[in-house]
């Protein structure tokens, strides 16, 4: 029987044999005491790539984002975030629970808002209103279908935020994809923001981990809150070694995932049971609408033929090519899509 092809997410990737070797051979120490040399190397490399003074290794992207909120706000503050951003939509109410802040949701077009949207959301200085402290941006935008933020739009939003004395955080869980797809170095995106989170366990294929980068003073403060939130880990160099291997060996190959995503989009667009505009697929995420059956039924039919995808709405499905899918498996997945939706 053919093995299952799992396209639900790029988070389902498993360590490659070379990554497993790097993890098994990692030099480790107690990271809460600051003694883990592999973690130190990873944090230094992330800070270098993003052009920041320091970085902090954390268990998840959610923790990285929530540390960024906590270190740059106080309880009762307000943060501005697009209404379908991961930080607001998928992080279990953490801004309110962990930082005591309110989220003010900006209107987005596939996750992208403008400097004018930002200006329109700002409140006058008045004791009736929560102080606005932080603007959060997600690039690429997950629920926007892997949408890239145009660099000029980012610059305009950042300039608008700075005019009003606001801090900026970039949720860069898939910033590596944004850089590969756009040709813009990660540090050029990151330069516009005070803090940046990045993920190693999505397209890069590490089993665990994210990082938060920014000024040394903020990252030192984040280290304290990481401990408070339960993210202080001990001999975590074993995990950091996987992240470091992924960072050095798997970034450029993200272009392969993007090319497969475009091929999948073009295939789906030609099928009567699916609807999407292939031009909207800019990176590795393929969101498409099903036109003849509920999404849950299509997901079940695809699974019965060995392809797993994710229903993201009553009539919407997500499929995500990643490094653990071989050329032969991808070709077989295309055949299954054609049979089920053709």
Give the CA count within 13 Å in the CB-facing half-sphere of 171: 30
Alpha helix segments (H runs only) across 34-168: 37-50, 61-72, 86-89, 94, 115-121, 151-163
Residue 2 is assigned to a structural domain of this protein: no
Span between the terminal Cα atoms of the chain, in Å: 23
pLDDT in tens, the chain (342 residues): 577 999 999 999 999 999 999 999 999 999 999 999 999 999 999 999 999 999 999 999 999 999 999 999 999 999 999 999 999 999 999 999 999 999 999 999 999 999 999 999 998 888 999 999 999 999 999 999 999 999 999 999 999 999 999 999 999 999 999 999 999 999 999 999 999 999 999 999 999 999 999 999 999 999 999 999 999 999 999 999 999 999 999 999 999 999 999 999 999 999 999 999 999 999 999 999 999 999 999 999 999 999 999 999 999 999 999 999 999 999 999 999 999 999
Q: pTM value?
A: 0.96
CA 247 from centroid of its chain's CA atoms: 15
* 302 and 235, same domain (yes or no): no
CA 220 from centroid of its chain's CA atoms: 23
Q: Which domain holds residue 86?
A: 17-249
- The per-residue pLDDT for 1 is 57
Question: How many separate helices (H) and strands (E) can be counted in the chain?
Answer: 14, 13
DSSP type of residue 231:
-
What is the domain-level CATH number for residue 88?
Answer: 3.40.640.10
What is the domain-level CATH number for residue 283?
Answer: 3.90.1150.10
- Residue located via tokens 């077009």: 109
Please classify residue 33 by burial: count the beta carbons closer than 10 Å to its beta carbon, then call 0-12 exposed, 13-18 middle and 19+ buried: exposed
């Amino acid at each position: 029987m053919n093995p299952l092809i799992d396209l639900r997410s790029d988070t389902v990737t498993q360590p490659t044999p070379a990554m497993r070797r790097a993890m098994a051979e990692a030099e480790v120490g107690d990271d809460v005491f600051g003694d883990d040399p592999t973690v130190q190397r990873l944090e230094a490399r992330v800070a270098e790539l993003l052009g920041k003074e320091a970085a902090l290794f954390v268990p998840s992207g959610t923790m990285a984002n929530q540390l960024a909120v906590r270190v740059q706000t106080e309880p009762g503050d307000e943060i501005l975030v697009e209404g379908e951003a991961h930080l607001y939509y998928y992080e279990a109410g953490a801004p309110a629970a962990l930082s005591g802040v309110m989220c003010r949701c900006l209107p987005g077009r596939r996750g992208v808002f403008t400097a004018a949207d930002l200006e329109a959301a700002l409140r006058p200085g008045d004791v009736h209103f929560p102080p606005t402290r932080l603007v959060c941006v997600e690039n690429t935008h997950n629920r926007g279908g892997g949408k890239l933020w145009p660099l000029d739009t980012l610059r305009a939003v950042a300039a608008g935020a700075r005019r009003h004395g606001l801090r900026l955080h970039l949720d860069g869980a898939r910033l590596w994809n944004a850089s590969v797809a756009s040709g813009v170095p990660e540090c050029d995106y990151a330069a516009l923001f005070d803090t940046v989170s990045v993920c190693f366990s999505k397209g890069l294929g590490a089993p665990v981990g994210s990082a938060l980068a920014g000024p040394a003073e903020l990252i030192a403060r984040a280290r304290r809150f990481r401990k408070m939130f339960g993210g202080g880990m001990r001999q975590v160099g074993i995990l950091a070694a996987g992240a470091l291997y992924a960072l050095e060996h798997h970034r450029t190959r993200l272009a392969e995932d993007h090319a497969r995503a475009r091929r999948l989009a073009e295939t789906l667009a030609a099928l009567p049971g699916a609807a999407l505009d292939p031009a909207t697929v800019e990176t590795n995420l393929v969101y498409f609408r099903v036109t003849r059956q509920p999404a849950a039924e299509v997901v079940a039919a695809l699974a019965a033929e060995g392809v797993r995808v994710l229903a993201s709405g009553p009539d919407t499905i997500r499929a995500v090519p990643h490094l653990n899918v071989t050329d032969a498996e991808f070709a077989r997945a295309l055949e299954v899509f054609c049979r089920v939706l053709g």
